[in-house]
Amino acid sequence: MPVRIQTEDFDLSLELKKLRAGDARVGAVAAFVGTVRDRNDGAEVAAMTLEHYPGMTEKSLEEIIQKAKARWDIYDVLIIHRVGPLHIEDQIVLTAVTSAHRGEAFAVCEVVVITKLPFAPPDSPIEEAKAEWLEKNQGNPFYEISVPAVALKLQQWVGRGIRTETDHATIIVLDKRLKTKPYGKKIMAGLPPFKRLM
């Protein structure tokens, strides 16, 4: 299986060994492992819970693998993404690629994967004051503060994959709220006019 969405941890060494086993053509194995860190945008993080859209996530990742194989001279790809509760230093995602040479393998590992929309509670005194003022004036702090902040942050993350006019990038968002929640359309509207597979 080139794509696995799972709650359990993975063994990096074992997964790489299995990926290249029996293929004497392989001259390079590149891997990216994402882990849970203790800070996010300056805020302390103790744990996180990742969700996904079952079926759609696997299908999207498999399509991306097929496109990568068509674009680069690679042999095999493995993507493992964990979901559910995760703690500091836990492994989240593995992208591993085999090829004859390292350049192609590294290129595929640079696909941007966004696991969860970066909503943050308005815990600073300024954000709390803005939220209180909006509530007193019949405003909606979530739609007027949180959603625009997430849209901006998502635009910045997408920008990591495209820095010049000739760059190509694949951006994967595994947070199902982008599709299932009403504010998802508003967030998507702020992104560049990419080809979208949803």
Structure tokens at 14: 């074992």
| Predicted pLDDT of residue 33 | 92
Model confidence pTM above 0.85: no
Predicted confidence at residue 90, as pLDDT, reads 95
Give dist(CA 30, CA 46) in Å, integer. Answer: 30
DSSP result, 147-196: HHHHHHHHHHHHHTT--STT----EEE--THHHHSHHHHHHHHTS-----
171-173 and 112-114 as β-strands: parallel, antiparallel, unpaired? parallel
Banded model confidence at residue 100, pLDDT cuts 50, 70, 90: very high
> What domains lie within the chain, and their CATH numbers?
1-110 (3.90.1170.40), 117-166+177-189 (no CATH)
Q: Which residue has the tokens 């085999």?
A: 98
Task: State pLDDT tens for residues 64-93.
Answer: 888 888 888 999 999 999 989 999 999 999
